[in-house]
Structure 1
């Protein structure tokens, strides 16, 4: 009896609603150092959707299974992997795409989940927490007195940066486009929140920084929104490109010419390639510890959809001012056997 695996895959770049499709595939045998994880829940992040639209087509070979994070239960292991892992909840990372019912992952990169974590929390432990924590504590080494300006202030990762500002002592200024986010961001610890539809961001930033500008700008949007952040930097300030929500690259030549700012792009994928296995696990230990101590709270879930209802889930993520995460979920009844 073979278990069939349903996967969400795209064969061409474009609108995720049009390009993503369910495919039924056989599960190939595990390599000696792999584990097989039966997925429980996977969030829909902007970083999951941007590649489907083709922004990173240079490094994606089609067809491609979507999804970068999620939580599940280990149901099988390769011959060189301890059978004691079977039955453990885990994050199957740095292997196959996670938008499928069964995910294979190298055992050395599997992150086990504390029993006290709900599946909602566990499913979100990778992309935003690891990225923000590495950037703040290591890549930028932010410290008390530093000022950080970030666009896409209503995003889940901006909320994570905001909470980290309380822990590391830096001040964060956030740019939003929807007032629905303002009060929550202040409650999380933001120093200043600016609405780009009603305020001149450069003037507002210069006003609160006494005309000096900020130490660091982090762009998650790209295009003109990203270029605006460069204008808000102090002399010799640092500009970091993190995301591409607009799908439009910033004009690096223009930024370098007008502001003397060299290109600086943080890539979690690149960091993963350079980090040792022990360092990888240490960073997760630090993140998990922060959450266990309730110093950090992850996004609330405001929508859960069965895996086969992925189009409804994608529509939900496009609701203006959407707060919280949308999850793709699985249960045992989804498994087809023949």
Structure 2
């Protein structure tokens, strides 16, 4: 079958090649084979291929942590009527290939009324945003800061927060051509490429500081946002877009804010991955992804309402993915939609 493969660690655009590889083989007990329909490219793919997670990544490596497909065949213990069901195949990479074998308990059924190009993006950004708002933004919280506000997840966070009556303060780099998706959802947008941005952030959050800060940048920007988080507030760190860790020692400033590290992988593998292994049952003896489906229920509900949607900037077939990453075709802002069928 066809797959996009990184044979060694390195920059994704430099080490990825599309070629024929061995198929997944027949599914074992509790397993299914999913025929992939669509996938996308996320920072997690580039970071993993770079070798950053060497202890849990072996090469050759097929990236793709997000996507949608159809169950093509099932192994012993999996209900026969699962064949033909559209699912999100979670728990591992490997969505940049025509067929993927995995445990049935890692398959989240996709509602019939969600198109492939919507369901494809249901996982990383929408689920992360939903879980963080639920866990770290209690009722009554009103003063919230979001870094990387022009990103897809920044837009998702703004949607969810405004549903709660919160108009957040956004922090952006000021990249030309990039702007927040809906300016009406933001109380203030502070650009870090302007001198004195820290003073403007301080003025935006007020003398008490932010009750909650949601940071996926780290480095100097994340450290500065931490200093503007209230002493009894919560600073949530969930990404490292700057490539630079947060300061080892807490920066001077208000200080005292609780620091939380949110990792979607920990939640999915901890809360969802154990489903189907409880009470002595085998993976395939329960409906696929029951525990994971509970996590996704609010995401699917929002997607049906037209919320938490991801803009598609370019569509590319699996056969052309490596070439596109090396020589990106111009297009509108948005993510890459990979049609795995072509």
TM over 0.5, shorter chain: yes
**Contact 2:161-2:167 at 8 Å conserved across structures:** yes
Unaligned 5+ residue runs, structure 1? none
User: Of 83, 86, 90, which residue of structure 2 is paired with 1:89?
Assistant: 86
Task: Name 2:280's counterpart in structure 1.
Answer: none
2: CA distance between counterparts of 1:186 and 1:257?
29
Q: SS of the residue aligned with 1:250?
A: coil
Q: Is structure 2 residue 250 aligned with structure 1 residue 238?
A: no
Q: Is structure 2 residue 334 aligned with structure 1 residue 284?
A: no
Point out the structure with the larger helix share.
1
Task: Name 2:265's counterpart in structure 1.
Answer: 269
Unaligned 5+ residue runs, structure 2? 276-289
How is 1:122-161 mapped onto 2 (pairs within 5 angstroms)?
122-138=119-135, 140-161=136-157
Question: Could you give the per-residue CA deviations for residues 284-303 of structure 1, whole angstroms, max 9, x where no partner exists?
Answer: 11211122233x14112120
C-alpha displacement at 1:254, in angstroms? 4.3
**Contact 1:40-1:72 at 8 Å conserved across structures:** yes
Task: Name 1:330's counterpart in structure 2.
Answer: 340
1: CA distance between counterparts of 2:50 and 2:2?
22
Question: Could you give the per-residue CA deviations for residues 27-50 of structure 1, whole angstroms, max 9, x where no partner exists?
Answer: 222122112111111111122222
The structure showing larger relative contact order (alpha-carbon pairs under 8 Å, at least 6 residues apart) is 2
Q: Are the structure 2 counterparts of residues 317 and 198 from structure 1 closer, same or farther at C-alpha, using a change threshold of 3 Å?
A: farther
Question: Could you give the per-residue CA deviations for residues 92-132 of structure 1, whole angstroms, max 9, x where no partner exists?
Answer: 11144211111122212211222221111010011111111
Q: SS of the residue aligned with 1:26?
A: coil
C-alpha displacement at 1:181, in angstroms? 4.0
TM-score, normalised on structure 2? 0.86
What is the CA RMSD across the aligned residues, in angstroms? 2.5
Q: Is structure 2 residue 222 aligned with structure 1 residue 210?
A: no
Q: Are the structure 2 counterparts of residues 54 and 185 from structure 1 closer, same or farther at C-alpha, using a change threshold of 3 Å?
A: farther
Q: Are the structure 2 counterparts of residues 148 and 257 from structure 1 closer, same or farther at C-alpha, using a change threshold of 3 Å?
A: closer
Q: Is structure 2 residue 314 aligned with structure 1 residue 314?
A: no
User: Of 6, 9, 14, which residue of structure 2 is paired with 1:10?
Assistant: 6
Question: Could you give the per-residue CA deviations for residues 271-325 of structure 1, whole angstroms, max 9, x where no partner exists?
Answer: 122215344211211211122233x141121201111211343257797x96211
Q: SS of the residue aligned with 1:21?
A: strand
Task: Name 2:188's counterpart in structure 1.
Answer: 192
Task: Name 1:165's counterpart in structure 2.
Answer: 161
**Contact 2:227-2:253 at 8 Å conserved across structures:** no
Q: Are the structure 2 counterparts of residues 200 and 54 from structure 1 closer, same or farther at C-alpha, using a change threshold of 3 Å?
A: farther
Equivalent pairs counted in the alignment come to 324
**Contact 1:206-1:212 at 8 Å conserved across structures:** no
Question: Could you give the per-residue CA deviations for residues 40-85 of structure 1, whole angstroms, max 9, x where no partner exists?
Answer: 1111112222222233334323332211010112111112111212
User: Of 30, 37, 48, which residue of structure 2 is paired with 1:33?
Assistant: 30
**Contact 1:304-1:313 at 8 Å conserved across structures:** no
2: CA distance between counterparts of 1:253 and 1:59?
28
1: CA distance between counterparts of 2:204 and 2:159?
21
C-alpha displacement at 1:86, in angstroms? 1.4
How is 1:4-83 mapped onto 2 (pairs within 5 angstroms)?
5-23=1-19, 24-83=21-80
**Contact 1:313-1:327 at 8 Å conserved across structures:** no
1: CA distance between counterparts of 2:32 and 2:164?
36
2: CA distance between counterparts of 1:316 and 1:244?
25
C-alpha displacement at 1:217, in angstroms? 1.7
Q: Are the structure 2 counterparts of residues 148 and 60 from structure 1 closer, same or farther at C-alpha, using a change threshold of 3 Å?
A: farther
**Contact 1:92-1:104 at 8 Å conserved across structures:** no
